[in-house]
Amino acid sequence: MLDGLNTLKIAIAYKLDGEIIHDTPGDADRLERCEPVYEEMAGWSESTVGAKSYDELPGNAKGYLNRIEELVEAPIDIISTGPDREETIVLRHPFD
C-alpha cells in the first residue's frame, strides 16, 4: 500500500495551543485543537508485493519499519505485503 509513494509522513507529536505534546489528549475539546507534527521519510518505488523475507524489502521500507519500531518502542512481528495470507512476512511469532 505504501509502494510508490515518494515521501511518507509519520505523526510524531501534536501541536496544541502552540505547545508540542507527545500524548494524545484524553478529551475531545483539546484533541480537536491539535495539529499533527510529522516526520518525513523517503518512500520507495520498488514493489514489496511477493516479498517473502525482510531482506527482500527495499532499503527505504526497512528504514520506515525501523523508525516505527523506535517510535512505538515495540518490535514489529508481522509485515503484510499484500491482501493474501501468503503475502505475509513473520519476523517473530507474536505469541511466542
Locus of grid cell 532499503: 59
> What pLDDT was estimated at residue 54?
95
CA pseudo-torsion sign 47, 63, 2, 50: positive
Query: What domains, with CATH codes, occur in the chain?
Result: 7-90 (3.90.170.10)
SS3 helix, strand, coil % of the chain, rounded to 5?
25, 30, 50
Least Cα distance to 79 among 71, 69, 70 occurs for 69
Q: What is the pTM of this model?
A: 0.84
Could you tell me the mean pLDDT of each successive run of 10 residues in the chain, 96 residues long? 94 96 94 96 94 94 97 94 89 84
